[in-house]
């Protein structure tokens, strides 16, 4: 008997669960706003040095002969250090020196972006790394938020963590918009990044904890689709709002709508039962049963009370035993090999996903259209999982999608530079495939790790993924050196990870490993009796 049996009586996805679930999906849209906003907040338009004679009144455009007289070929961070007299500018006086001088002021092309944090604080040339660093620190915030708000969610409850994150997200979202300089903007954005974990991940957990097991695949994938909708809507905001500060405010304020959820969204009944607060859990269960028009037998409530009491006794008995750690996953050869492969898959999926998402400005063509398509292709990527993940197997989908992403991205090496549409098409195929892969790795990893260390393993995997996200902004900088370079790096990583994933065992329709010993033996082609005895001895030694 357990809460899953309550769900069986209640209805795995009844009217009550549907109402709460779809309400919880909507905040994923706002989290997408914040995660993808950096593409526009830190947009880098074409630029050049302001020349000495322009005196602050220049526009970006210059006649061709003035470009040649002012700048070395391919150089925009320095100009010729000569006397820009009228005779020189009209071509009657030759250039007497090839010496250059670094820019002190810049002129930006406003045809695509009115302004951005880059243009306001001149994050170009020798300061260009600061723009990538700001996005990287945002992803560091996501990592810290996963840890901080994950702990809060388990200790204080899902609901208070969700609303604390939501309020902080709005406060620091507005502070980022009014920041007077780079440092305060970056710190505010880092805190916003942390709150996306508190809002999205906690909403994701609440949603999955209240639906039946047969609906969890749909519930998890569909919520990711709402994130993709937010991805596309970000381009819509950027199309109508050209000032980066107002854009940041516009992307933040929709969070106000979710404050009213405080009186609508309940605490997770699973969490309440886990914490021994069965009376509060029963109130929620009875309300759900009433809305679903079902009756929960009284003996089920009695059995839940008995289970809570029994669990408390077990917790007291096991309180002095050492908690499972990530090192338990690395102590034994087969389990260590699988764990490291899973970590690498998470690193690649996160790095490639965000690398492609943030690289749309470097693909050429219409940047807003590129961004919109990059979000739109995620929808069929997730739909693919709904129809194939329980039919073709987790490993087949993970390996197949990562290899497709790798091949399509590496193919850009052979695309002629005048066929920009084909480069964009290859990048979008890669984005679709890596989206499917990213959705698969969550389920596949949970089924690989033993129950005793499953949360530890998923937490460690998520942290490794954030490292990939932290490094992803610097890929965008490489695209300024050679446009296909970020795509080639992402492709090589995807193809490598896809091939290596073939070494992982399939988990579809297989019993999930419960103990460390199960995890070590799962997927082993052969296991000698002596090795099994040594493993059992090591485990017994640890428990003693």
Confidence (pLDDT) at 152: 85
Confidence (pLDDT) at 272: 87
- Quickly list DSSP for 491-527: HHHHHHHHHHGGGSPP-TTSPPP-SHHHHHHTT-S--
Alpha helical stretches, state H, 71-211: 86-89, 117-120, 129-156, 158-178, 182-196, 202-209
What is the length of the chain? 544
The counts of H helices and E strands in the chain are 25, 4
Confidence (pLDDT) at 249: 97
Q: For residue 225, give Cα distances in angstroms to 27, 72, 131, 171, 247.
A: 12, 48, 29, 26, 23
Q: Which two tokens stand for residue 49?
A: 């040095």
Domain residue limits, the chain: 47-109, 323-544
Per DSSP, the three-state class of 48 is: strand
Architecture in CATH for domain 323-544: Up-down Bundle (1.20)
Q: What is the dihedral of CA 530, 531, 532, 536, to 10 degrees?
A: 100
pTM value?
0.87
- The whole-angstrom separation of Cα 28 and Cα 207 is 12
Regions in the chain scoring below 70 on pLDDT:
1-2, 312, 314-324, 455, 525-544
Alpha helical stretches, state H, 71-128: 86-89, 117-120
Confidence (pLDDT) at 537: 52
Confidence (pLDDT) at 318: 60
What phi and psi values does residue 47 have, to the nearest 5 degrees?
A: -150, 170
Q: What does R_g of the chain's alpha carbons equal in angstroms?
A: 27
End-to-end CA distance of the chain: 31
Residues 6+ apart with CB under 8 A from 351: 468, 469, 471, 472, 475, 490, 493
């Amino acid at each position: 008997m357990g809460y899953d049996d309550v769900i069986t009586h209640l209805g795995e996805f009844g009217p009550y669960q549907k109402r709460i679930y779809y309400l919880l999906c909507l905040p994923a849209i706002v989290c997408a706003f914040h995660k993808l906003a950096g593409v526009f907040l830190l947009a880098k338009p074409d630029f050049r040095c302001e020349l000495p004679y322009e005196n602050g009144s220049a526009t970006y455009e210059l006649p061709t002969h003035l470009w040649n007289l002012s700048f070395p070929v391919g150089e925009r961070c320095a100009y010729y250090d000569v006397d820009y007299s009228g005779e020189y500018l009209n071509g009657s006086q030759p250039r007497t020196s090839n010496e250059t001088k670094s820019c002190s002021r810049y002129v930006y092309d406003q045809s695509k972006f009115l302004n951005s944090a880059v243009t306001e604080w001149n994050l170009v040339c020798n300061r260009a790394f600061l723009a990538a660093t700001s996005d990287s620190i945002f992803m560091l915030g996501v990592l810290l938020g996963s840890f901080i708000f994950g702990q809060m969610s388990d200790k204080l409850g899902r609901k208070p963590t969700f609303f604390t994150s939501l309020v902080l997200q709005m406060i620091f979202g507005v502070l980022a918009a009014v920041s007077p300089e780079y440092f305060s903007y970056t710190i505010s954005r880092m805190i916003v990044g942390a709150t996306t974990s508190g809002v999205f991940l906690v909403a994701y957990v609440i949603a999955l904890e209240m639906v039946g097991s047969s609906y969890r695949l749909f519930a998890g994938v569909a919520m990711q689709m709402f994130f993709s909708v937010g991805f596309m809507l970000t381009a819509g905001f950027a199309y109508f709002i050209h000032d980066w500060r107002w854009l940041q405010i516009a992307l933040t304020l929709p969070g106000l709508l979710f404050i009213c959820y405080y009186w609508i969204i309940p605490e997770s009944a699973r969490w309440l039962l886990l914490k021994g607060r069965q009376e509060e859990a029963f109130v929620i269960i009875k309300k759900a049963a009433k809305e679903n028009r079902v009756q929960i037998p009284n003996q089920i409530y009695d059995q839940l009370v008995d289970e809570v009491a029994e669990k408390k006794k077990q917790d007291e008995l096991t309180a002095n035993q050492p908690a499972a750690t990530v090192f338990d996953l690395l102590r034994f050869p087969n389990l260590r090999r699988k764990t490291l492969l899973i970590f690498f898959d998470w690193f690649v999926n996160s790095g490639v996903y965000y690398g492609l998402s943030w690289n749309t400005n470097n693909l050429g063509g219409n940047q807003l259209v590129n961004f919109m398509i990059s979000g739109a292709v995620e929808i069929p990527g997730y739909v693919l999982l709904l129809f194939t993940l329980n039919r073709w197997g987790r490993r087949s989908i993970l390996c197949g999608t990562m290899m497709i992403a790798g091949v399509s991205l590496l193919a850009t090496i052979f695309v002629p530079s005048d066929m920009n549409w084909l480069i964009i098409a290859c990048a979008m195929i890669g984005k679709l495939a890596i989206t499917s892969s990213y959705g698969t790795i969550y389920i596949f990893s949970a089924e690989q790790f033993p129950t005793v260390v499953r949360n530890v393993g998923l937490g460690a995997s998520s942290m490794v993924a954030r490292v990939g996200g932290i490094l992803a902004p610097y890929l965008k900088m490489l695209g300024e050196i050679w446009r296909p370079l970020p795509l080639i790096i992402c492709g090589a990583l995807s193809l490598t990870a896809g091939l290596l994933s073939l070494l992982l065992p399939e988990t579809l329709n297989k019993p999930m490993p419960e103990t460390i010993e199960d995890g070590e033996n799962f997927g082993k082609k052969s296991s000698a009796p002596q090795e099994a005895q040594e493993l059992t001895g090591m485990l017994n030694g640890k428990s003693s």
